[in-house]
């Protein structure tokens, strides 16, 4: 990738949290909606709304919890 498109390493944990939470939120919201309401023609709108509502919760959660999870996994694995 072009070097002008690469941001400094210190932002890696935030970018990691942003991408991981976005992917999780997108998939989980779609599955929950499909199970609860089926896939009707309002599905896309409901899905976008769910993503926008839940991502602001998921992103800080992942970012704050990730270092703790890493430490816990480090202790539990050999």
Partner 1 sequence: MNTVMDYLVCALLVGLGATVVMDIWGIARKRLLGLAPMNYGLVGRWLAHLARGRFRHDRIAASPAVRGEGLIGWTAHYLIGIAFAAVLLAIWGLEWARHPTIGPALIVGIGSVAAPFLVMQPGMGAGIAASRTPRPSAARLQSVVTHAIFGLGLYGAGWVTSWVQS
Q: Footprint of partner 1 on this chain (CB under 8 A)? A: 2-8, 41, 44-45, 48-49, 52-53
Q: What is the full DSSP assignment across the chain?
A: --GGG---GGGHHHHHHHHHHHHHHHHHHHHHHHHHH-S-TTHHHHHHHHHHHHHHHHHHHHHHHHHHHHHHHHHH--
* CB of residue 71 to partner 1, shortest distance in Å: 29
Nearer to partner 1, 52 or 64 (CB): 52
Taking the least distance from each CB to partner 1, the nearer of 42 and 67 is 42
User: Residue 44 CB, nearest distance to partner 1 (Å)?
Assistant: 5
Q: For partner 1, give the closer residue by CB, 6 or 75.
A: 6
Please tell me the distance from the alpha carbon of residue 21 to that of residue 60, in angstroms, as a whole number. 9
Min. distance of Cβ 63 from partner 1 in angstroms? Answer: 18
């Amino acid at each position: 990738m072009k070097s002008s498109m690469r941001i400094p390493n210190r932002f890696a944990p935030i970018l990691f949290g942003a991408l991981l939470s976005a992917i999780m939120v997108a998939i989980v919201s779609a599955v929950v909606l499909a199970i609860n309401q089926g896939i009707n023609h309002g599905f896309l709108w409901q899905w976008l709304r769910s993503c926008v509502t839940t991502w602001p919760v998921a992103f800080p959660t992942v970012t704050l919890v990730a270092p703790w999870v890493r430490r816990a996994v480090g202790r539990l694995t050999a």
